[in-house]
Protein backbone atom coordinates (compact mmCIF):
# COMPACT_ATOMS: atom_id res chain seq x y z
CA UNK A 1 0.00 0.00 0.00
CA UNK A 2 1.24 3.51 -0.81
CA UNK A 3 2.69 5.47 2.11
CA UNK A 4 0.16 7.92 3.59
CA UNK A 5 1.06 11.47 2.63
CA UNK A 6 1.53 13.65 5.69
CA UNK A 7 1.22 17.40 5.15
CA UNK A 8 4.09 19.60 6.32
CA UNK A 9 3.45 22.70 8.40
CA UNK A 10 6.27 25.21 8.12
CA UNK A 11 6.29 27.69 11.00
CA UNK A 12 8.29 30.74 10.06
CA UNK A 13 8.47 34.17 11.65
CA UNK A 14 8.56 37.58 9.96
CA UNK A 15 11.30 38.07 7.38
CA UNK A 16 12.03 34.34 7.27
CA UNK A 17 11.33 34.35 3.55
CA UNK A 18 8.10 32.35 3.50
CA UNK A 19 7.34 33.27 -0.09
CA UNK A 20 10.95 32.45 -1.02
CA UNK A 21 10.51 29.04 0.64
CA UNK A 22 7.32 28.32 -1.30
CA UNK A 23 8.88 29.39 -4.59
CA UNK A 24 11.94 27.15 -4.03
CA UNK A 25 9.73 24.19 -3.09
CA UNK A 26 7.49 24.73 -6.13
CA UNK A 27 10.55 24.80 -8.40
CA UNK A 28 11.79 21.53 -6.86
CA UNK A 29 8.42 19.83 -7.26
CA UNK A 30 7.66 20.92 -10.82
CA UNK A 31 9.76 18.21 -12.51
CA UNK A 32 7.68 15.64 -10.61
CA UNK A 33 4.33 17.15 -11.61
CA UNK A 34 2.30 14.73 -13.74
CA UNK A 35 0.76 16.38 -16.82
CA UNK A 36 -2.84 15.51 -15.92
CA UNK A 37 -2.52 16.72 -12.32
CA UNK A 38 -2.18 20.17 -10.73
CA UNK A 39 0.16 22.05 -8.46
CA UNK A 40 -1.78 24.74 -6.59
CA UNK A 41 -0.48 27.62 -4.48
CA UNK A 42 -3.09 29.32 -2.30
CA UNK A 43 -2.38 32.84 -1.13
CA UNK A 44 -4.44 35.26 0.92
CA UNK A 45 -3.87 38.50 -0.96
CA UNK A 46 -3.69 39.52 -4.60
CA UNK A 47 -0.29 41.07 -4.00
CA UNK A 48 1.10 37.73 -2.74
CA UNK A 49 -0.39 35.99 -5.80
CA UNK A 50 1.28 38.50 -8.11
CA UNK A 51 4.60 38.23 -6.32
CA UNK A 52 4.72 34.43 -6.54
CA UNK A 53 3.67 34.50 -10.18
CA UNK A 54 6.25 37.16 -11.06
CA UNK A 55 9.07 35.44 -9.19
CA UNK A 56 8.29 32.06 -10.79
CA UNK A 57 8.01 33.75 -14.17
CA UNK A 58 11.54 35.10 -13.82
CA UNK A 59 12.81 31.52 -13.55
CA UNK A 60 10.56 29.60 -15.97
CA UNK A 61 7.51 29.48 -18.16
CA UNK A 62 4.76 28.59 -15.69
CA UNK A 63 3.06 25.38 -16.92
CA UNK A 64 -0.73 25.50 -17.45
CA UNK A 65 -1.33 22.96 -14.69
CA UNK A 66 0.05 25.32 -12.05
CA UNK A 67 -2.61 27.34 -10.21
CA UNK A 68 -1.69 30.39 -8.12
CA UNK A 69 -4.55 32.29 -6.53
CA UNK A 70 -6.64 33.14 -3.50
CA UNK A 71 -8.50 30.51 -1.48
CA UNK A 72 -11.81 31.61 -3.00
CA UNK A 73 -10.64 31.35 -6.58
CA UNK A 74 -9.09 27.96 -5.74
CA UNK A 75 -12.36 26.61 -4.32
CA UNK A 76 -14.37 27.90 -7.27
CA UNK A 77 -11.97 26.38 -9.79
CA UNK A 78 -11.32 22.99 -8.15
CA UNK A 79 -14.56 22.29 -6.28
CA UNK A 80 -17.55 24.49 -7.12
CA UNK A 81 -17.12 24.69 -10.91
CA UNK A 82 -16.51 20.99 -11.51
CA UNK A 83 -18.94 19.63 -8.91
CA UNK A 84 -21.38 22.40 -7.85
CA UNK A 85 -23.74 22.17 -10.84
CA UNK A 86 -23.67 18.37 -11.23
CA UNK A 87 -24.43 17.96 -7.54
CA UNK A 88 -27.33 20.42 -7.83
CA UNK A 89 -26.01 22.92 -5.27
CA UNK A 90 -25.41 25.66 -7.85
CA UNK A 91 -27.26 26.76 -11.01
CA UNK A 92 -25.46 26.83 -14.39
CA UNK A 93 -24.62 30.55 -14.31
CA UNK A 94 -23.34 32.15 -11.14
CA UNK A 95 -21.76 35.37 -10.00
CA UNK A 96 -19.62 35.45 -6.84
CA UNK A 97 -19.82 38.72 -4.92
CA UNK A 98 -19.84 40.56 -1.63
CA UNK A 99 -23.44 40.72 -0.47
CA UNK A 100 -24.94 42.81 2.30
CA UNK A 101 -28.22 41.48 3.70
CA UNK A 102 -30.67 43.31 5.99
CA UNK A 103 -31.99 40.33 7.92
CA UNK A 104 -33.58 40.26 11.37
CA UNK A 105 -31.39 37.43 12.58
CA UNK A 106 -28.79 34.88 11.53
CA UNK A 107 -31.44 32.32 10.59
CA UNK A 108 -33.21 34.66 8.20
CA UNK A 109 -29.87 35.71 6.75
CA UNK A 110 -28.99 32.10 5.99
CA UNK A 111 -32.37 31.49 4.35
CA UNK A 112 -31.91 34.56 2.14
CA UNK A 113 -28.39 33.48 1.26
CA UNK A 114 -29.60 30.03 0.23
CA UNK A 115 -32.38 31.62 -1.85
CA UNK A 116 -30.08 33.92 -3.75
CA UNK A 117 -27.60 31.09 -4.35
CA UNK A 118 -30.43 29.34 -6.24
CA UNK A 119 -30.72 32.47 -8.38
CA UNK A 120 -27.01 32.34 -9.14
CA UNK A 121 -25.74 34.98 -6.69
CA UNK A 122 -23.13 33.38 -4.46
CA UNK A 123 -21.93 35.49 -1.51
CA UNK A 124 -18.16 35.15 -0.98
CA UNK A 125 -18.59 33.65 2.47
CA UNK A 126 -20.75 30.85 1.03
CA UNK A 127 -17.89 29.67 -1.19
CA UNK A 128 -16.14 27.98 1.74
CA UNK A 129 -19.23 26.34 3.25
CA UNK A 130 -20.56 25.08 -0.10
CA UNK A 131 -17.15 23.60 -0.97
CA UNK A 132 -16.74 22.10 2.47
CA UNK A 133 -20.16 20.41 2.31
CA UNK A 134 -19.47 18.99 -1.12
CA UNK A 135 -16.24 17.40 0.11
CA UNK A 136 -17.61 16.22 3.43
CA UNK A 137 -20.74 14.62 2.06
CA UNK A 138 -19.24 12.93 -0.96
CA UNK A 139 -16.25 10.61 -0.75
CA UNK A 140 -16.01 10.38 -4.55
CA UNK A 141 -15.63 14.18 -4.85
CA UNK A 142 -12.95 14.15 -2.15
CA UNK A 143 -11.02 11.53 -4.04
CA UNK A 144 -11.43 13.26 -7.40
CA UNK A 145 -10.23 16.60 -5.98
CA UNK A 146 -7.25 14.97 -4.32
CA UNK A 147 -6.36 12.97 -7.42
CA UNK A 148 -6.47 16.15 -9.47
CA UNK A 149 -4.20 17.96 -7.00
CA UNK A 150 -0.72 16.50 -6.81
CA UNK A 151 0.76 19.37 -4.76
CA UNK A 152 -0.96 21.96 -2.62
CA UNK A 153 0.82 24.91 -0.99
CA UNK A 154 -0.93 27.29 1.39
CA UNK A 155 0.79 30.58 2.16
CA UNK A 156 -0.12 32.70 5.24
CA UNK A 157 -1.66 29.61 6.83
CA UNK A 158 -2.26 31.51 10.09
CA UNK A 159 -5.10 33.28 8.25
CA UNK A 160 -6.95 30.08 7.36
CA UNK A 161 -10.22 29.89 9.28
CA UNK A 162 -11.84 26.71 10.56
CA UNK A 163 -13.99 26.24 7.45
CA UNK A 164 -10.94 26.46 5.21
CA UNK A 165 -8.93 24.16 7.47
CA UNK A 166 -11.71 21.56 7.28
CA UNK A 167 -11.40 21.62 3.51
CA UNK A 168 -7.64 20.99 3.69
CA UNK A 169 -8.37 18.17 6.15
CA UNK A 170 -10.81 16.53 3.71
CA UNK A 171 -8.20 16.71 0.95
CA UNK A 172 -5.57 15.28 3.30
CA UNK A 173 -7.79 12.33 4.19
CA UNK A 174 -8.08 11.41 0.52
CA UNK A 175 -4.30 10.76 0.69
CA UNK A 176 -3.28 11.66 -2.86
CA UNK A 177 -2.06 15.25 -2.36
CA UNK A 178 1.32 16.39 -1.05
CA UNK A 179 0.58 19.45 1.08
CA UNK A 180 2.63 22.29 2.56
CA UNK A 181 1.20 24.91 4.91
CA UNK A 182 3.42 27.91 5.63
CA UNK A 183 2.58 30.46 8.30
CA UNK A 184 3.35 32.35 11.47
CA UNK A 185 0.98 31.99 14.46
CA UNK A 186 2.20 35.30 15.87
CA UNK A 187 0.89 37.07 12.76
CA UNK A 188 -2.60 35.62 13.12
CA UNK A 189 -4.77 38.73 13.16
CA UNK A 190 -8.16 37.25 12.32
CA UNK A 191 -10.35 39.87 14.00
CA UNK A 192 -9.94 41.80 10.78
CA UNK A 193 -11.90 39.17 8.88
CA UNK A 194 -14.97 40.23 10.81
CA UNK A 195 -15.71 36.80 12.10
CA UNK A 196 -17.73 38.00 15.08
CA UNK A 197 -18.55 35.20 17.45
CA UNK A 198 -16.28 32.80 15.62
CA UNK A 199 -13.13 34.51 16.93
CA UNK A 200 -11.19 32.08 19.08
CA UNK A 201 -8.21 32.26 21.39
CA UNK A 202 -4.98 31.51 19.54
CA UNK A 203 -4.67 27.92 20.77
CA UNK A 204 -8.08 27.07 19.19
CA UNK A 205 -7.22 28.43 15.75
CA UNK A 206 -6.41 26.13 12.83
CA UNK A 207 -2.68 26.89 12.85
CA UNK A 208 -2.50 25.65 16.46
CA UNK A 209 -4.69 22.67 15.68
CA UNK A 210 -2.15 21.88 12.96
CA UNK A 211 0.82 22.42 15.33
CA UNK A 212 -0.73 19.96 17.79
CA UNK A 213 -1.90 17.47 15.19
CA UNK A 214 -0.17 14.12 14.97
CA UNK A 215 -1.11 13.85 11.30
CA UNK A 216 0.95 16.89 10.24
CA UNK A 217 4.76 17.13 10.18
CA UNK A 218 6.31 20.33 11.53
CA UNK A 219 9.31 22.33 10.34
CA UNK A 220 10.58 25.55 11.93
CA UNK A 221 12.42 28.32 10.06
CA UNK A 222 14.13 30.54 12.60
CA UNK A 223 15.96 32.90 10.25
CA UNK A 224 15.16 36.57 9.84
CA UNK A 225 16.49 38.05 6.60
CA UNK A 226 14.89 41.42 7.17
CA UNK A 227 15.70 43.16 10.41
CA UNK A 228 18.72 44.38 12.34
CA UNK A 229 19.85 42.48 15.44
CA UNK A 230 18.39 45.11 17.81
CA UNK A 231 14.96 44.81 16.19
CA UNK A 232 15.13 40.99 16.16
CA UNK A 233 16.11 40.97 19.86
CA UNK A 234 13.13 43.21 20.57
CA UNK A 235 10.54 41.14 18.66
CA UNK A 236 11.94 37.89 20.08
CA UNK A 237 10.42 39.00 23.41
CA UNK A 238 6.95 38.43 21.99
CA UNK A 239 6.90 35.36 19.74
CA UNK A 240 5.12 32.37 21.24
CA UNK A 241 6.96 29.66 19.27
CA UNK A 242 10.18 30.90 17.64
CA UNK A 243 13.36 32.70 18.65
CA UNK A 244 14.73 34.19 15.46
CA UNK A 245 18.34 34.51 14.33
CA UNK A 246 19.58 37.39 12.20
CA UNK A 247 20.62 36.13 8.76
CA UNK A 248 20.81 39.29 6.67
CA UNK A 249 24.56 39.93 6.44
CA UNK A 250 24.01 43.28 4.69
CA UNK A 251 22.00 44.75 7.55
CA UNK A 252 24.60 45.75 10.13
CA UNK A 253 22.80 48.66 11.73
CA UNK A 254 22.50 48.78 15.48
CA UNK A 255 19.91 51.52 15.92
CA UNK A 256 18.13 51.03 19.20
CA UNK A 257 14.39 50.51 19.22
CA UNK A 258 13.11 53.94 20.25
CA UNK A 259 10.08 55.30 22.06
CA UNK A 260 9.28 58.94 21.30
CA UNK A 261 8.35 60.19 24.74
CA UNK A 262 6.88 63.32 26.33
CA UNK A 263 4.36 63.97 23.61
CA UNK A 264 0.95 62.70 22.51
CA UNK A 265 0.70 65.07 19.60
CA UNK A 266 0.71 63.46 16.16
CA UNK A 267 2.65 66.25 14.44
CA UNK A 268 5.30 66.36 17.16
CA UNK A 269 5.68 62.60 16.95
CA UNK A 270 6.11 62.68 13.17
CA UNK A 271 8.61 65.56 13.39
CA UNK A 272 10.61 63.69 15.99
CA UNK A 273 10.60 60.48 13.95
CA UNK A 274 11.81 62.37 10.90
CA UNK A 275 14.53 64.07 12.92
CA UNK A 276 15.69 60.68 14.28
CA UNK A 277 15.80 59.39 10.69
CA UNK A 278 17.93 62.39 9.71
CA UNK A 279 20.26 62.23 12.72
CA UNK A 280 23.29 60.08 11.88
CA UNK A 281 24.26 59.80 15.53
CA UNK A 282 21.00 57.90 16.22
CA UNK A 283 20.09 56.39 12.86
CA UNK A 284 23.21 55.12 11.12
CA UNK A 285 21.85 55.03 7.55
CA UNK A 286 19.47 57.33 5.78
CA UNK A 287 16.27 55.31 5.44
CA UNK A 288 15.03 55.35 1.89
CA UNK A 289 11.64 53.82 2.68
CA UNK A 290 9.49 54.76 5.67
CA UNK A 291 6.22 53.36 6.95
CA UNK A 292 3.86 55.24 9.24
CA UNK A 293 1.66 52.62 10.88
CA UNK A 294 -1.49 52.75 13.00
CA UNK A 295 -4.34 50.38 13.72
CA UNK A 296 -6.82 52.60 11.93
CA UNK A 297 -6.72 54.10 8.51
CA UNK A 298 -7.53 57.47 10.02
CA UNK A 299 -4.39 57.66 12.21
CA UNK A 300 -2.35 59.66 9.67
CA UNK A 301 -5.18 60.86 7.42
CA UNK A 302 -5.29 64.41 8.81
CA UNK A 303 -1.61 65.02 8.14
CA UNK A 304 -1.02 63.09 4.92
CA UNK A 305 -0.86 66.17 2.67
CA UNK A 306 1.22 68.17 5.12
CA UNK A 307 3.89 65.48 5.26
CA UNK A 308 3.56 64.10 1.73
CA UNK A 309 2.55 60.65 2.95
CA UNK A 310 0.79 58.37 0.55
CA UNK A 311 -1.75 55.83 1.61
CA UNK A 312 -0.63 52.46 0.37
CA UNK A 313 -3.32 50.23 -1.01
CA UNK A 314 -3.41 46.84 -2.66
CA UNK A 315 -3.32 47.55 -6.33
CA UNK A 316 -1.78 46.35 -9.48
CA UNK A 317 -2.06 48.68 -12.33
CA UNK A 318 -1.51 46.72 -15.51
CA UNK A 319 -4.28 46.71 -18.05
CA UNK A 320 -5.18 43.06 -17.45
CA UNK A 321 -5.81 43.95 -13.82
CA UNK A 322 -7.95 46.92 -14.87
CA UNK A 323 -10.00 44.72 -17.19
CA UNK A 324 -10.47 42.18 -14.42
CA UNK A 325 -11.65 44.95 -12.07
CA UNK A 326 -14.04 46.13 -14.72
CA UNK A 327 -15.48 42.69 -15.38
CA UNK A 328 -15.94 42.12 -11.63
CA UNK A 329 -17.73 45.48 -11.41
CA UNK A 330 -20.08 44.65 -14.29
CA UNK A 331 -21.03 41.24 -12.86
CA UNK A 332 -21.53 42.77 -9.43
CA UNK A 333 -23.68 45.67 -10.54
CA UNK A 334 -25.80 43.55 -12.87
CA UNK A 335 -25.97 40.53 -10.55
CA UNK A 336 -25.13 38.36 -13.51
CA UNK A 337 -22.28 36.07 -14.47
CA UNK A 338 -19.92 37.07 -17.25
CA UNK A 339 -21.10 34.14 -19.40
CA UNK A 340 -24.78 35.00 -19.09
CA UNK A 341 -24.07 38.65 -19.95
CA UNK A 342 -22.12 37.55 -23.03
CA UNK A 343 -24.89 35.15 -24.05
CA UNK A 344 -27.53 37.89 -23.88
CA UNK A 345 -25.36 40.28 -25.83
CA UNK A 346 -24.50 37.50 -28.28
CA UNK A 347 -20.89 38.52 -28.14
CA UNK A 348 -17.66 36.60 -27.67
CA UNK A 349 -14.95 37.06 -25.05
CA UNK A 350 -12.97 39.54 -27.14
CA UNK A 351 -15.97 41.81 -27.77
CA UNK A 352 -16.85 41.64 -24.06
CA UNK A 353 -13.36 42.73 -23.12
CA UNK A 354 -13.57 45.61 -25.60
CA UNK A 355 -16.74 46.78 -23.87
CA UNK A 356 -14.97 46.59 -20.50
CA UNK A 357 -12.09 48.54 -21.95
CA UNK A 358 -14.51 51.26 -23.05
CA UNK A 359 -15.63 51.76 -19.44
CA UNK A 360 -12.05 51.96 -18.17
CA UNK A 361 -11.19 54.42 -20.95
CA UNK A 362 -14.15 56.60 -20.02
CA UNK A 363 -12.65 57.01 -16.52
CA UNK A 364 -9.15 57.50 -17.89
CA UNK A 365 -10.31 60.33 -20.13
CA UNK A 366 -12.50 61.90 -17.42
CA UNK A 367 -11.38 61.25 -13.84
CA UNK A 368 -14.37 63.33 -12.65
CA UNK A 369 -16.94 61.06 -14.27
CA UNK A 370 -19.77 60.35 -11.83
CA UNK A 371 -21.69 57.20 -11.04
CA UNK A 372 -24.78 58.05 -13.09
CA UNK A 373 -22.66 58.69 -16.19
CA UNK A 374 -20.91 55.31 -15.77
CA UNK A 375 -24.26 53.58 -15.22
CA UNK A 376 -25.71 55.20 -18.30
CA UNK A 377 -22.70 54.01 -20.36
CA UNK A 378 -23.17 50.57 -18.89
CA UNK A 379 -26.86 50.48 -19.82
CA UNK A 380 -26.11 51.49 -23.41
CA UNK A 381 -23.20 49.11 -23.90
CA UNK A 382 -24.37 46.08 -21.94
CA UNK A 383 -28.12 46.49 -22.51
CA UNK A 384 -28.94 45.51 -18.95
CA UNK A 385 -30.71 47.10 -15.99
CA UNK A 386 -28.30 47.61 -13.06
CA UNK A 387 -31.18 48.62 -10.77
CA UNK A 388 -32.89 45.24 -10.87
CA UNK A 389 -32.57 43.67 -7.44
CA UNK A 390 -32.26 39.96 -6.61
CA UNK A 391 -34.13 39.96 -3.33
CA UNK A 392 -35.88 42.75 -1.44
CA UNK A 393 -33.74 42.22 1.65
CA UNK A 394 -30.44 42.05 -0.20
CA UNK A 395 -29.04 45.53 -0.43
CA UNK A 396 -28.22 46.54 -3.95
CA UNK A 397 -26.98 50.06 -4.49
CA UNK A 398 -25.71 50.45 -8.06
CA UNK A 399 -24.62 54.06 -7.53
CA UNK A 400 -22.49 53.04 -4.57
CA UNK A 401 -20.96 50.13 -6.53
CA UNK A 402 -20.26 52.47 -9.46
CA UNK A 403 -18.62 55.07 -7.22
CA UNK A 404 -16.41 52.38 -5.71
CA UNK A 405 -15.39 51.26 -9.18
CA UNK A 406 -14.54 54.80 -10.35
CA UNK A 407 -12.43 55.38 -7.22
CA UNK A 408 -10.63 52.08 -7.65
CA UNK A 409 -9.72 52.70 -11.29
CA UNK A 410 -8.66 56.29 -10.55
CA UNK A 411 -6.51 55.09 -7.66
CA UNK A 412 -4.86 52.44 -9.77
CA UNK A 413 -4.14 54.87 -12.58
CA UNK A 414 -2.72 57.39 -10.12
CA UNK A 415 -0.78 54.69 -8.30
CA UNK A 416 0.83 53.44 -11.49
CA UNK A 417 2.14 56.90 -12.35
CA UNK A 418 3.48 57.71 -8.90
CA UNK A 419 4.64 54.41 -7.42
CA UNK A 420 8.26 54.77 -8.49
CA UNK A 421 8.87 58.09 -6.74
CA UNK A 422 7.01 57.54 -3.48
CA UNK A 423 8.90 56.25 -0.51
CA UNK A 424 6.83 57.29 2.50
CA UNK A 425 3.59 55.46 3.06
CA UNK A 426 1.02 55.58 5.77
CA UNK A 427 -0.97 52.41 6.10
CA UNK A 428 -2.97 50.36 8.53
CA UNK A 429 -1.06 47.63 10.33
CA UNK A 430 -3.28 45.04 8.65
CA UNK A 431 -2.32 46.36 5.23
CA UNK A 432 1.37 46.35 6.17
CA UNK A 433 1.36 42.57 6.59
CA UNK A 434 3.94 41.01 4.30
CA UNK A 435 5.60 44.38 3.58
CA UNK A 436 8.78 45.99 4.94
CA UNK A 437 10.47 49.39 5.15
CA UNK A 438 13.87 50.70 6.29
CA UNK A 439 12.33 52.85 9.03
CA UNK A 440 8.99 52.30 10.70
CA UNK A 441 6.99 54.54 13.04
CA UNK A 442 4.20 52.71 14.89
CA UNK A 443 1.70 54.82 16.80
CA UNK A 444 -0.61 53.41 19.46
CA UNK A 445 -3.87 55.30 19.93
CA UNK A 446 -4.03 54.61 23.67
CA UNK A 447 -1.85 53.39 26.53
CA UNK A 448 -3.97 50.24 26.77
CA UNK A 449 -3.27 49.42 23.18
CA UNK A 450 0.46 49.99 23.71
CA UNK A 451 0.40 47.87 26.86
CA UNK A 452 -1.06 44.96 24.89
CA UNK A 453 1.46 45.39 22.10
CA UNK A 454 4.24 45.02 24.69
CA UNK A 455 2.74 41.99 26.46
CA UNK A 456 5.41 39.34 27.01
CA UNK A 457 3.33 36.84 28.97
CA UNK A 458 2.77 34.03 26.46
CA UNK A 459 -0.43 32.86 28.12
CA UNK A 460 -1.98 36.33 27.94
CA UNK A 461 -0.95 36.59 24.30
CA UNK A 462 -2.66 33.25 23.60
CA UNK A 463 -5.82 34.46 25.31
CA UNK A 464 -6.03 37.78 23.47
CA UNK A 465 -9.07 37.13 21.26
CA UNK A 466 -8.94 40.64 19.86
CA UNK A 467 -5.41 39.99 18.49
CA UNK A 468 -4.24 43.39 19.76
CA UNK A 469 -0.88 42.03 20.91
CA UNK A 470 -0.31 40.30 17.57
CA UNK A 471 -1.27 43.43 15.63
CA UNK A 472 1.58 45.18 17.47
CA UNK A 473 3.92 42.32 16.59
CA UNK A 474 3.07 42.57 12.89
CA UNK A 475 3.78 46.32 13.00
CA UNK A 476 7.11 46.02 14.87
CA UNK A 477 8.39 43.28 12.59
CA UNK A 478 8.02 45.38 9.38
CA UNK A 479 11.15 47.41 10.26
CA UNK A 480 14.50 46.65 8.67
CA UNK A 481 16.79 49.24 10.31
CA UNK A 482 14.88 51.63 12.54
CA UNK A 483 11.82 51.04 14.69
CA UNK A 484 10.19 53.93 16.54
CA UNK A 485 7.11 53.62 18.72
CA UNK A 486 4.86 56.37 20.08
CA UNK A 487 1.50 56.78 21.79
CA UNK A 488 -1.30 59.33 21.42
CA UNK A 489 -2.06 59.12 25.15
CA UNK A 490 0.11 59.78 28.20
CA UNK A 491 1.82 56.60 29.35
CA UNK A 492 2.20 55.65 33.02
CA UNK A 493 5.30 54.65 34.97
CA UNK A 494 4.56 50.96 34.62
CA UNK A 495 4.59 51.21 30.84
CA UNK A 496 7.78 53.27 30.96
CA UNK A 497 9.33 50.53 33.07
CA UNK A 498 8.18 47.87 30.60
CA UNK A 499 9.76 49.77 27.74
CA UNK A 500 13.04 50.07 29.62
CA UNK A 501 13.03 46.36 30.47
CA UNK A 502 12.57 45.66 26.77
CA UNK A 503 15.71 47.70 26.13
CA UNK A 504 13.84 50.46 24.33
CA UNK A 505 15.48 53.90 24.25
CA UNK A 506 13.30 56.81 25.36
CA UNK A 507 13.90 59.90 23.25
CA UNK A 508 11.96 63.04 24.20
CA UNK A 509 10.03 64.59 21.35
CA UNK A 510 11.18 67.79 19.72
CA UNK A 511 8.82 70.79 19.74
CA UNK A 512 6.42 71.80 16.98
CA UNK A 513 8.67 74.77 16.05
CA UNK A 514 11.54 72.66 14.87
CA UNK A 515 9.56 71.05 12.06
CA UNK A 516 11.73 68.59 10.14
CA UNK A 517 11.70 67.81 6.44
CA UNK A 518 11.09 64.19 5.54
Ligand X SMILES: Nc1ncnc2c1ncn2[C@@H]1O[C@H](COP(=O)(O)OP(=O)(O)OP(=O)(O)O)[C@@H](O)[C@H]1O
Largest CA distance in the chain: 77
CB of 430 to ligand X, least distance (A): 13
CB of 183 to ligand X, least distance (A): 9
Contact (Cβ atoms closer than 8 angstroms) between residue 439 and residue 283: yes
Residue placing its CB nearer to ligand X in the complex, 402 or 483: 483
Is residue 6 classed exposed, middle or buried when 0-12, 13-18 and 19+ CB atoms within 10 A define those classes? middle
CB of 12 to ligand X, least distance (A): 6
Residue ranges of the alpha helices (H) in 366-480? Answer: 371-382, 398-418, 429-432, 447-453, 458-463, 468-476
15 is in an annotated binding site: yes
434 is in an annotated binding site: no
Which pairing describes strands 245-246 and 424-428: parallel, antiparallel, or unpaired?
Answer: unpaired
Binding site for ligand X (CB under 6 A): 12, 14-20, 184, 187, 225-226, 434, 436, 477
- Residue 432 has phi, psi (to 5 degrees) of -80, -10
Question: Nearest-CA neighbor of 14 among 234, 175, 177?
Answer: 234
Residue placing its CB nearer to ligand X in the complex, 339 or 436: 436
From residue 261, alpha-carbon distances to 65, 272, 290, 426, 442 in Å are 55, 10, 20, 21, 13
Residue placing its CB nearer to ligand X in the complex, 285 or 516: 285
Residue placing its CB nearer to ligand X in the complex, 113 or 461: 461
CB of 476 to ligand X, least distance (A): 11
Question: Nearest-CA neighbor of 436 among 502, 485, 470, 483?
Answer: 483
Q: Which residues contact 285 (CB under 8 A, 6 or more apart)?
A: 253, 438, 481
Residue placing its CB nearer to ligand X in the complex, 17 or 82: 17
Residue placing its CB nearer to ligand X in the complex, 158 or 255: 158
Q: What is the rounded CA–CA span in Å between residue 222 and residue 244?
A: 5
Contact (Cβ atoms closer than 8 angstroms) between residue 207 and residue 157: yes
16 is in an annotated binding site: yes
Is residue 306 classed exposed, middle or buried when 0-12, 13-18 and 19+ CB atoms within 10 A define those classes? exposed
Q: What is the rounded CA–CA span in Å between residue 155 and residue 370?
A: 39
CB of 54 to ligand X, least distance (A): 13
CB of 58 to ligand X, least distance (A): 13
Residue placing its CB nearer to ligand X in the complex, 48 or 341: 48
Q: What is the rounded CA–CA span in Å between residue 244 and residue 477?
A: 11
Query: Which residues are bridge partners to 440 per DSSP?
Result: 291, 483
Residue placing its CB nearer to ligand X in the complex, 225 or 275: 225
Q: What is the rounded CA–CA span in Å between residue 424 and residue 307?
A: 9
Contact (Cβ atoms closer than 8 angstroms) between residue 184 and residue 158: yes
CB of 242 to ligand X, least distance (A): 11
**CB-based closest residue to ligand X:** 17
CB of 23 to ligand X, least distance (A): 9
Residue placing its CB nearer to ligand X in the complex, 363 or 479: 479
Residue placing its CB nearer to ligand X in the complex, 10 or 266: 10
CB of 500 to ligand X, least distance (A): 27
CB of 473 to ligand X, least distance (A): 10
120 is in an annotated binding site: no
- Residue 90, classed as helix, strand or coil, is coil
49 is in an annotated binding site: no
Contact (Cβ atoms closer than 8 angstroms) between residue 437 and residue 290: yes
CA contacts within 13 A on the Cβ side of 218 = 15
Q: Which residues contact 506 (CB under 8 A, 6 or more apart)?
A: 258, 259, 261, 496, 499, 500
Binding residues for ATP: 12-19
Binding residues: 12-19
Amino acid sequence: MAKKLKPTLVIAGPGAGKTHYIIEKVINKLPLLEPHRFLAVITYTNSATNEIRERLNEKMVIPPNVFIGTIHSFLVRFILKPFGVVQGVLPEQVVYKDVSIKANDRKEENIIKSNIVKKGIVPYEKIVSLSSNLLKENKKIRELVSQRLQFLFVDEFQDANSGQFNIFEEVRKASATEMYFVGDPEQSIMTFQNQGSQIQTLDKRPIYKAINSGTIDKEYLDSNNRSSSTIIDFINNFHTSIIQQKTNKDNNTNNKVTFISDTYDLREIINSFNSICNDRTICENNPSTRFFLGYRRSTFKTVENEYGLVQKDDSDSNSIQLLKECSTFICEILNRSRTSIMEDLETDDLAYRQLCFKLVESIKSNPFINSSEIISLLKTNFKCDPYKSVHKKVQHNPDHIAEGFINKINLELQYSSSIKEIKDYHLTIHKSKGLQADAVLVIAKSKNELKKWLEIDKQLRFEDKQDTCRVGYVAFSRAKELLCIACLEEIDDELKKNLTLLNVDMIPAMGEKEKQPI
